[in-house]
Chains A and B, each alone.
Chain A
Amino acid sequence: MSALDPTLVRELAPQVIGVLVRRGADFASAEDAVQEALLAAHEQWGEQPPRDPRAWLVTVAWRRHVDLVRSDAARRAREERLHHKPPPGRAAASDDTLWLYFLCAHPSLSPSAATALTLRALGGLTTRQIAEAHLVPEATMAQRISRAKRTVADVPLGVPGDLATVLRVLYLVFSEGYAGEVDLAAEAIRLVRRLAALTDEPEVRGLLALFLLHHSRRAARRDAEGRLVPLPEQDRSRWDRRLAAEGIDLLQDALARDRLGEYQAQAAVAALHADALRAEETDWAQVVEWYDELVALTGSPVHRLNRAVAVGEADGGAAGLRALRELDPSLPRYAAVAAHLHERAGDLADAARLSAEAAAAATRTDERDHLTRQAARLAPHRRDP
């Protein structure tokens, strides 16, 4: 091993937590101790990391843990125990890591608590990095994490949970947006990649495929000035074909198991976009079919909204508007979709009015700016005062 690879060190975090918990440490203090060991690794390893980084982290984290829980008077006894501890077994490491995924996504946690805990215990990120990514003070994030740890303090070791909640938390991490030095989307990919190595559940592969396919378009999603570029206008030569191919392989592997789920279906839509070398070559009829599957699987109004866009592309703006009519206008992004479909149907006056409405309802600055530009482009067609 050469210079310190921060990602590799972080990869080891859940395994080391697992070892400490197996030795009898409670999750909250094990997690604290491992966080300190990671910080120590960053300070001490430099150009010369230890030959067995995992063993080093286990030793340091265990020592920190013992320091934290034992009083000075008991130090001698602790040292005695340290010398007689058997080496950590590797066989249980993968089970422990899987259990940590369940624990960090435990249903008793709020979504924000689950994402923060996942990023720290499984991602091995520091509180400061997680705080920066969420644009909150470090002290606030520290509280969020310690409250989350208290919430799951009584969850018994090794009890499996629901994989669907784990995947929802990972999806949240991926979709949250990012700031600071850590790219949460890349982090989510790393976390789901590792999960995919621990279980062969098709939805895990489906989620990884979805992330990779979305990620493959990232370079094309913004222009040089940082403006949002909608999918049909993206420069597809800037799509990362290698990532997309990996996503498609994973998806095919998952679909072959014949247990369809919402992430596989979403990945299938993303794969159809990846297949089209030019926007005009997109197989919109198939995209609509996948959205039909998604709506059948989830009943989610968000998928219905996206389905209306796909119908608009497959059968024209009027058909898209008919599909839209069944939906609640108070849905997020409804006005943006309505504007797009009206423009496609040739109704520029309504498209102009709805674009302005959509810009006012946007929840992200880049979307608002994009919709404002759309509204400005269509403004000459406005009829309302």
Chain B
Amino acid sequence: MAKYLMLKHYRGPKTAVHDVPMDRWTPEEVDAHVRFMDDLADELRESGEFVDAQALSPGGTWVRFDGEGRPPVVDGPFAETKDLIAGWMVIDVESEERALEVASVLSSAPGAGGVPIGEWLELRPFLDDRPNAVE
């Protein structure tokens, strides 16, 4: 089994097929979208492939170290960064093909007008952090 992160971007370098900003959807369309995501998570629980799903607040802050004993440097929040991560889902699947298949389903979540958004998801394999017994 291998774990994959499916990263959802609000905005990213690649534009969705059906690209209408969420604040211009009807409430019913928003509900349908959320229901789709919940249902997919349930299906993945049922299939024994679900690990985690989280949504992120869009407002973030940049922070960095500024020397010993000094307070951190804080920058932002920036409303208009180029790339904004909306959230993620983590799955544990048998193969990369299966990961691609699940990501494709997630990308088909309905948006404005009830049609699949076709958003680009970033699929990233996890590095295995567990010690193993063979060399």
Contacts and interface: CB of A to CB of B under 8 A. Distances in A.
Interface of A: 110-113, 134-137, 139-141, 143-145, 147, 174-179, 184-185, 188, 211, 214-215, 217-218, 221-222, 230-231, 362-366, 368
Interface of B: 1, 3, 45-52, 92, 94, 125, 127-135
Contact of B133 (A136, A139, A145, A174): A174
A211 B134 CA distance: 9
B131 A363 contact: no
Given A111-B94, A363-B125, A140 B50 contact: yes
A214 B135 CA distance: 8
A143 B49 CA distance: 9
A368 B94 contact: no
Given A110-B94, A140-B92, A135 B48 contact: no
26 contacts: A110-B94, A111-B1, A112-B48, A113-B48, A134-B1, A135-B51, A135-B92, A135-B130, A136-B92, A137-B50, A139-B45, A140-B50, A143-B47, A144-B48, A145-B48, A147-B47, A174-B134, A177-B130, A179-B129, A211-B133, A214-B133, A214-B134, A230-B135, A363-B125, A364-B127, A364-B130
A137 B51 contact: yes
A189 to B, nearest CB: 9
| The 8 nearest A-B residue pairs measured at CB | A144-B48, A177-B130, A185-B133, A177-B132, A143-B48, A364-B128, A112-B1, A175-B134
Contacts of B94: 110-112
B90 to A, nearest CB: 9
Nearest to A366: B131
Given A112-B1, A135-B3, A140-B92, A177 B128 contact: yes
Contact of A365 (B49, B125, B127): B127
A176 B129 CA distance: 11
B9 to A, nearest CB: 23
Residue of A137, A175, A217 with most chain B CB atoms under a 10 A cut-off: A137
Given A111-B94, A112-B1, A137-B51, A143 B133 contact: no
Contacts of B128: 177, 363-365
Chain A CB count within 10 A is highest, among B1, B46, B129, for B1
